[in-house]
A and B are shown apart, each in its own frame.
Chain A
Amino acid sequence: MDDIKKIARELFTSGKVNAVLGYVSINGQRTKPFLATKPEETDNFIINKYILNNLTVYLTKKEILKYGKIGIFAKGCDVKAIVALLQESQIKREEVYIVGINCNGVCADFDMEFSGETIALKCLNCEVRTPKLYDELIGTTEEMPKADDGKLKMIRKIEALSSAEKWDIFEEQFDKCIKCYACRQACPLCYCERCISDKSVPRWIESSASKRGNFSWNIIRAFHLAGRCIGCNECERACPMEIPLSLLNRKMAMVAQEEFKYVSGLDPNTPTLIGSYDLKDDEDFIE
């Protein structure tokens, strides 16, 4: 994709944007997010199998908002986050210029060869390889390597367990948490001015990395993402303690789809799951 630099430059020269969010290469098989504020800064822009970050997370940051209209290179999964932010009034459509990327999967992590072994799990059942929303589209979709969906298998396994066993599994996982909040910082939908974890009157979530505090933090975050999480899996990738956060988030998304036929991040005009109700909604759970 040589024309990527050209496209990025043109966004400036045509006056469509004041800054562009993209990826630049570092050390061969690594990329990092980059905000270009001048045309010449786009010269190192790259698109490859290692564009792992969801750049959407920056769209709600004050430091970026000050530039006004922003261009963004976005994979289908990243665009789902843009859609969710539009639904939740965090960004304005006319303030974002989306260069959609036709995606053939990315690597699970840097420094590995792309194959069926190393493809990111979120890519396996991807239904948005061509983004749902964009201003221009680049690349083409091609055959993608196939692999086993290990996470789904694990979810099915946990589903079959008793409540006590489930509790034990997650307690063990959450015990690892060091409360670094990397999950929150990497999440495009964790945009609150002040996170509930920072609220002190009353303190709903104990701030220390204790058993209780860890449990309430991770469970409350999962609830706050229920019906909202778009499955970019950046939280799990960011977690230094390797807590399998996607188990919870993905299970919640599955419930949203099964019970309410709702998939987040597909259409900015659809009412959000949590923010809407239907008189025909199932009420069997109220006894």
Chain B
Amino acid sequence: MKIGVFICHCGENIGRTVDCVRVAKACSFFPNVVHSVEYKYMCSDPGQNMIKQAIKDLKLDGVVVGSCSPHMHEKTFRKAVSDAGVNPFLCEIANLREHVSWVHDDKEVATDKAIDLMRFAVEKVKRNAPLKTIQVPVTKRTLVIGGGIAGIQAALDVANAGYEVVLVEKEPSIGGHMSQLSETFPTLDCSQCILTPRMVEVYQHPKIKLMTYSEVEKVEGFIGNFKVTIRKKARFVDDTLCSGCGDCAIKCPIKKKALSEFDEKLAFRSAIYVPFPQAVPNIPVIDKEVCTYFKNGKCSMCVKVCGRNAIKFDQQDEFISEDIGAIIVATGYKLYTIDKKPEASEIKGYGEYGYGKYKDVVDGLQFERIASASGPTSGEFQRPSDGKTPKKIVFIQCVGSRDESKGFSYCSKICCMYTAKHAMLYKHKVHDGEAYVFYMDIRAGGKMYEEFVRRAIEEDGVKYIRGRVSRIYEEDGKYIVKGEDTLAGVPIQIDADMVVLATAMVAQTDAPKLAQTIGMPYDNYGFYSEVHPKLRPVESSTGGVFLAGACNSPRDIPDSVAMASAAAAKALVLFGSDMLEREPTIAFVNENLCAGCFYCKKVCAYNAIEVKQIKDKNGNVIKEVAFVNSGLCQGCGTCNATCPSKAIELIGYTDEQIYAEIAALM
């Protein structure tokens, strides 16, 4: 074999810490290396041409590039090698940047290490075999998980491009948090008015299969070829018969037992209910926990009033299997809540604000319901405890956000804006009311955002106080808010009628569970991780899984919608070709050696190992061995490491290659 070695300086990135000239010189003495050079930017056009030219002139049949991580430029160099007529898998990358120059200071030592890594890669490439990429078909259907504004937008974009979408929403209706909002910043248009047309469009779209009150149970397969099992939870109402007349909910005798999730527990709902009037689909569900029929079988009022016999108490959860090519995750967020009993709360802290203890201390979403025309007060500002109009409201920002000691270190991003909006909406309806906002900083980056906050302060007279609140307590029917005005440097006390806490946006409680079901990464907070925060912000590192909205990090509506369209575009890119190319570096079983213990099958995270029967010519089973499904195998190598007799190996990373690499370092 004739091997060419190409050392890249990566500008200064490698060159400053590694003596590239010395590395190239050392490599030229390695057995089989016939050409060894260095260059400032190997990934540049002239750099690539150096490789191509050397292959041509010297008839190289193996190439080792010492450069940045293969994550960055493996593709580039393999393509260059391939263009020059050599199989791309005969090109190896030694990572001299992330593994050497970026982690070492001492130039001598770093250079020695770089030479070792080069020797390592040269030994490997000697044993590389020419490989061919695997072609797999693409199922051009998209699963969108979450029916909030992000999921809706993504589903509509993909469907409007002509591809089928399965939209799964765990609640009885799509709409998500946006459907709960009163008005939206910075234009103050009514949230429902702009959202509900989109909801209806989803419902009516011929390419969208809407599955509400459903959850993703299992995800198998891989990019372009997922098999997804969806649990359609029992509604106890036959959606093919129900006309959505609502008689059942009106007649349901359970009136004061169940708190409305949609109204953020500020109002009651019946046991059989539609979460809100514009719900899509307009089909009720029965809450088994409070329904008298499910408790003791004594009531069946809904059955009596239903003119279409749609109530089905014996309905069971259904499991539906879908073939999917791309998954867009848009599961959104929840608000950081402080439980009545701090010890029962997931997150502790802020007991001093009396949330849960005082009825008139509410969170942002509860205030949205109070402000909303579809809310429990029909949009009149009435406080929860006695229904009186609050004359003085204190808004507290950053409750849980930007607070490492009690909450989270991140900024929830939307609270500055929605608090300004809340105060503004309040002032628009209660002209003689006073609104105070305690803030740490005002973060109003966004189109028309700063102007919006200025308008709240200057036109609507909302009083902004820079400082934190230390304590809230009740005295003579007032809530005494104690804090500090840090700009004036004085303690401050406000006797408020109501307090609104802008609590942090946090990941959904079961976010890690879904991530594990799909097999995608998430961060310490439970938010789903993108591959690259700048260049690949809507892609999960799991192939074919894309992210939209606040499941990734706190986001407002415009950001979520933009991200959803971007995720849809990524799914459509995937559908642009009929076949996907996959790396041929997958597991391979030597059937003669396989003892059939199937430890490989047990440890395989991708269900890629199957049982294969070896038969004699009379059809008798001689033995059972492992078999690798090349479509499912991701080449992670876990089976390889587990196999006691090394009967299963990874193509492109065979034991022989690994052994040679280790031997080169000894």
Query: Interface on A for B, CB 8 Å cutoff?
Result: 88-90, 191-196, 199, 201-202, 204, 224, 271-272, 274-277, 279
- CB-based contact B599/A193 at 8 Å: no
B1 CB within 8 Å of chain A:
no
In chain B between 608 and 660, which residues have their CB closer than 8 angstroms to a CB of chain A? 624, 642, 644-647, 655-656, 659-660
- CB-based contact A89/B597 at 8 Å: yes
Residues of chain A within 8 A of B647, CB atoms compared? 192-194
- CB-based contact A195/B645 at 8 Å: yes
Residues of chain A within 8 A of B655, CB atoms compared? 199, 201-202, 204
Report if A202-B660 is in contact (Cβ < 8 Å); known contacts: A192-B645, A193-B647, A194-B645: yes
- CB-based contact A274/B660 at 8 Å: no
Report if A279-B516 is in contact (Cβ < 8 Å); known contacts: A192-B644, A193-B595: yes
Residues of chain A within 8 A of B642, CB atoms compared? 274-275
- CB-based contact A196/B644 at 8 Å: yes
A-B contact list, 13 entries, CB within 8 Å: A89-B598, A89-B624, A191-B595, A192-B647, A193-B594, A193-B645, A196-B645, A196-B646, A199-B645, A199-B646, A271-B602, A274-B599, A275-B598
Bound form: Cα–Cα A196–B594 in Å: 12
Q: Which of B593, B644, B655, B659 has the most CB of A within 10 A?
A: B644
Residues of chain A within 8 A of B597, CB atoms compared? 88-90, 191
Q: Which residue of B lies closest to A221 (CB)?
A: B644
Bound form: Cα–Cα A201–B593 in Å: 13
- CB-based contact B593/A194 at 8 Å: yes
- CB-based contact A89/B644 at 8 Å: no
- CB-based contact B656/A201 at 8 Å: yes
- CB-based contact A193/B593 at 8 Å: yes
Of A88, A192, A201, the contact of B598 (CB 8 Å cutoff): A88
Q: Which of B516, B602, B642 has the most CB of A within 10 A?
A: B602
B379 CB within 8 Å of chain A:
no
Extra contacts besides A88-B598, A193-B647, A202-B655 (5): CB < 8 Å = A89-B597, A192-B645, A194-B645, A201-B655, A275-B603
By secondary structure, the A interface counts as: loop
A122 to chain B, nearest CB (A): 23
Residues of chain B within 8 A of A196, CB atoms compared? 644-646
Residues of chain A within 8 A of B598, CB atoms compared? 88-89, 275
Of B593, B602, B660, the contact of A275 (CB 8 Å cutoff): B602
Residues of chain A within 8 A of B596, CB atoms compared? 89-90
Bound form: Cα–Cα A195–B646 in Å: 9
Residues of chain B within 8 A of A192, CB atoms compared? 593, 595, 644-645, 647
- CB-based contact A202/B659 at 8 Å: yes
Residues of chain A within 8 A of B660, CB atoms compared? 202
Residues of chain A within 8 A of B594, CB atoms compared? 193
Q: Which of B595, B603, B642 has the most CB of A within 10 A?
A: B595
Bound form: Cα–Cα A274–B645 in Å: 15
Q: Which residue of A lies closest to B602 (CB)?
A: A275
Residues of chain B within 8 A of A193, CB atoms compared? 592-595, 645, 647
Bound form: Cα–Cα A275–B642 in Å: 8
Bound form: Cα–Cα A204–B649 in Å: 14
Q: Which residue of A lies closest to B657 (CB)?
A: A202
- CB-based contact B599/A88 at 8 Å: yes
Residues of chain B within 8 A of A271, CB atoms compared? 602
Bound form: Cα–Cα A204–B654 in Å: 13
- CB-based contact A272/B645 at 8 Å: no
Residues of chain B within 8 A of A191, CB atoms compared? 595, 597
Q: Which residue of B lies closest to A88 (CB)?
A: B597
Residues of chain B within 8 A of A89, CB atoms compared? 596-598, 624
Q: Which residue of A lies closest to B624 (CB)?
A: A89
Bound form: Cα–Cα A131–B472 in Å: 67
Residues of chain B within 8 A of A275, CB atoms compared? 598-599, 602-603, 642
Bound form: Cα–Cα A68–B10 in Å: 66
Q: Which of A88, A192, A196, A224 has the most CB of B within 10 A?
A: A192
- CB-based contact A204/B659 at 8 Å: yes
Residues of chain A within 8 A of B593, CB atoms compared? 192-194
Q: Which residue of A lies closest to B625 (CB)?
A: A193
A26 to chain B, nearest CB (A): 32
Bound form: Cα–Cα A274–B642 in Å: 8
Residues of chain A within 8 A of B659, CB atoms compared? 202, 204
Bound form: Cα–Cα A194–B625 in Å: 14
Residues of chain B within 8 A of A195, CB atoms compared? 645
Q: Which residue of B lies closest to A197 (CB)?
A: B645
Q: Which of A193, A201, A224, A276 has the most CB of B within 10 A?
A: A193
A227 to chain B, nearest CB (A): 11
Residues of chain B within 8 A of A272, CB atoms compared? 599, 602
Bound form: Cα–Cα A194–B516 in Å: 36
A285 to chain B, nearest CB (A): 16
Bound form: Cα–Cα A89–B597 in Å: 5
Q: Which residue of A lies closest to B512 (CB)?
A: A279
A250 to chain B, nearest CB (A): 20
- CB-based contact A276/B602 at 8 Å: yes
Residue interface bits B571-608, CB-to-A below 8 A is 1, else 0:
00000000000000000000011111111001100000
A251 to chain B, nearest CB (A): 19
Residues of chain B within 8 A of A194, CB atoms compared? 592-593, 645, 647
Residues of chain B within 8 A of A279, CB atoms compared? 516
Residues of chain A within 8 A of B602, CB atoms compared? 271-272, 274-276
Q: Which residue of A lies closest to B663 (CB)?
A: A202
Residues of chain A within 8 A of B603, CB atoms compared? 274-275, 277
Please give me the 10 A-B residue pairs with the lowest Cβ-Cβ distance, nearest first. A275-B602, A202-B659, A192-B645, A88-B597, A192-B595, A194-B593, A224-B644, A193-B595, A275-B599, A89-B598
Bound form: Cα–Cα A196–B647 in Å: 9
B639 to chain A, nearest CB (A): 11
Q: Which residue of A lies closest to B599 (CB)?
A: A275
A93 to chain B, nearest CB (A): 15
A109 to chain B, nearest CB (A): 30
